[in-house]
Amino acid sequence: MSTSDLTKLTLAAARDGLAAKDFTSLELTEAFLNAIDHSNAALNAYVLPTADQAREMAKASDERLAKGEAGALEGLPLGIKDLFCTKGVATTACSKILEGFVPEYESHVTANLWDAGAVMLGKLNNDEFAMGSSNETSAYGPVINPWRRNGKEDKLVPGGSSGGSSSAVAADLCLAATATDTGGSIRQPAALTGTVGLKPTYGRCSRWGTVAFASSLDQAGPIAKTVEDAAMMLGAMAGHDPRDSTSVDVPVPDYAVSIGESIKGLRVGVPKEYRVEGMSAEADALWTSGIDWLKEAGATVHDISLPHTKYALPAYYIVAPAEASSNLARYDGVRYGLRVAGSDLIDTYEKTRAAGFGREVKRRVLIGTYVLSAGYYDAYYLKAQKVRSLIKQDFDTAWNDVDVILTPTTPSPAFALGEKSGDPIAMYLEDIFTVTVNMAGLPGLSVPAGLSSEGTPLGLQLIAKPFDEAVLFKTGAVIEKAAGHFKPAEAWWATA
């Protein structure tokens, strides 16, 4: 098997290949390191490849494989979003303010992955502190989508905030990647790159050791090439952790068994409120295809109403900045990261934060500070949290009649660099279909479903009850089987 064939494998196929001794983890890892060497200049998906560490981990995996002590992800090379603290490896959240920060500890999610035998290829680019929907706010520059419009060479965004993760998975620069989702940051980039992205139920994965953005919304999850791969990843990432009090102590099922299960009799809800103005005709048409595929597989489809849908995004832009302004107060130039000397302590704080935070981060910290400031808490934050209860109640009511909900992941396909970065609200609208899921704490899966007329991917989103990720995997696998897999036509980003 040639080197480029190795990088094209799915996570499950690579696991099987290692078990059959078709290749070693070191060979597999070298194939990815070589691909990163030849591709990262064009895509900017990795902010820090960790080649030496990857080789060491791969060698250790090969030893365990030889002894028959393989973990669930033994020897499988992954990319890690730079929001996960990795012991001894610089972690910046792609912000200048965390320049030079080398964690003394490992995040719970990545520790779980290494315990399962996975190999770290490097740290992946993201929007600064995960604030963005295009990966253009990163202090390390934008990530480029491996997909291009038919016959065009315009650079397209890979979505965000997990744009490094989505681009790397789509361009075969890792077998799968970790990501995080606060308002759509796993599912939207997955949709824009033809990859599979899962935001688990809030509390399914520990937030310990993940750089905090909005603590009541943040959740880690995978971006992968297939639904089965996403199920394998979640199985390793999830689990209870006493260091995160919102981590829920429920068993982690074997998610992979859901793949291929029948959906006969499954009740699928289609919410009328997601048929928004400005949705592209092709996203709408694809949604109809999704309904047909699920019906053909034996599911029943029901019209449902989630009346508070339109209020989720404005409520989110109160709750998320409020929590961010509080979480980001820790970046003070004293304990870690950047420090810009000032005339006194307050001046040092102000200069450090002015130099260290990018424009979008400042904007959100200021909005958050405003809505939490004296006299405004009730009018904004409390109001938004009440609207959030209504959004959750909409879903609770829907679950009386349906088992899973089907929507488009985004209203439109990948856009060009710079196309939306001048208008904050236009960018915020990228998350219109995904943010409700975070507000209600539910699990959501984005599955590639087709191509736009421009030849770029579009995704469908499935939403389920808390801790019912299994139904997402089995339903997602049905869509995947019907829609097929989507890869960019040629690897234009790779140099010889």
Partner 1 sequence: MHVDETTVRKIARLARIEITDAEATGLVDELSGILDWVEQLDEVDTSNVEPMARIVPIALKRREDVVNDGEMRDKIVGNAPMEEDGFFVVPKVVE
In angstroms, give the least distance from the CB of 329 to partner 1. 8
Quick one: 389 or 397, whose CB is closer to partner 1? 389
In angstroms, give the least distance from the CB of 127 to partner 1. 17
Quick one: 377 or 492, whose CB is closer to partner 1? 377
Query: Where along the sequence are the contacts to partner 1 (CB under 8 A)?
Result: 100-102, 104, 201-203, 242, 245-246, 248-249, 308, 310-311, 314-315, 317-318, 325, 329, 332-339, 341-351, 353-354, 357, 362-363, 365-367, 369-370, 373, 380, 382-390, 392, 424-425, 440-442, 466-467
161 flagged as catalytic:
yes
Quick one: 40 or 185, whose CB is closer to partner 1? 185
Quick one: 146 or 209, whose CB is closer to partner 1? 209
- Cβ pair 318, 380 in contact under 8 A: yes
Quick one: 5 or 396, whose CB is closer to partner 1? 396
In angstroms, give the least distance from the CB of 5 to partner 1. 42
* Catalytic-role residue among 25, 161, 167, 258: 161
In angstroms, give the least distance from the CB of 307 to partner 1. 10
Quick one: 109 or 427, whose CB is closer to partner 1? 427
- CA 158 to chain CA centroid, Å, is 11
* Catalytic-role residue among 61, 162, 185, 325: 185
362 flagged as catalytic:
no
In angstroms, give the least distance from the CB of 339 to partner 1. 4
* Catalytic-role residue among 25, 39, 61, 81: 81
In angstroms, give the least distance from the CB of 353 to partner 1. 5
In angstroms, give the least distance from the CB of 198 to partner 1. 17
Q: Which of 199, 225, 187 is nearest to 446 (CA)?
A: 187
Quick one: 280 or 376, whose CB is closer to partner 1? 376
In angstroms, give the least distance from the CB of 438 to partner 1. 10
- Cβ pair 39, 124 in contact under 8 A: no
Quick one: 153 or 344, whose CB is closer to partner 1? 344
In angstroms, give the least distance from the CB of 79 to partner 1. 24
State in Å, rounded, how far the first CA of the chain is from the last one. 19
What distance in Å separates the CA atoms of residue 341 and residue 347, rounded to the nearest whole number? 8
Quick one: 346 or 489, whose CB is closer to partner 1? 346
Dmax (CA) of the chain:
70
Q: Which of 71, 67, 35 is nearest to 169 (CA)?
A: 35
**Residue 313: which residues within 8 A CB-CB, separation 6 or more?**
428, 429, 431, 432, 435
Quick one: 10 or 348, whose CB is closer to partner 1? 348
In angstroms, give the least distance from the CB of 342 to partner 1. 7
* Sequence-distant contacts of 481-484: CB under 8 A, at least 24 apart: 482/289, 482/293, 482/296, 482/297, 483/289, 483/293, 483/447, 483/448, 483/449, 483/450
Positions annotated as catalytic residues are 81, 161, 185
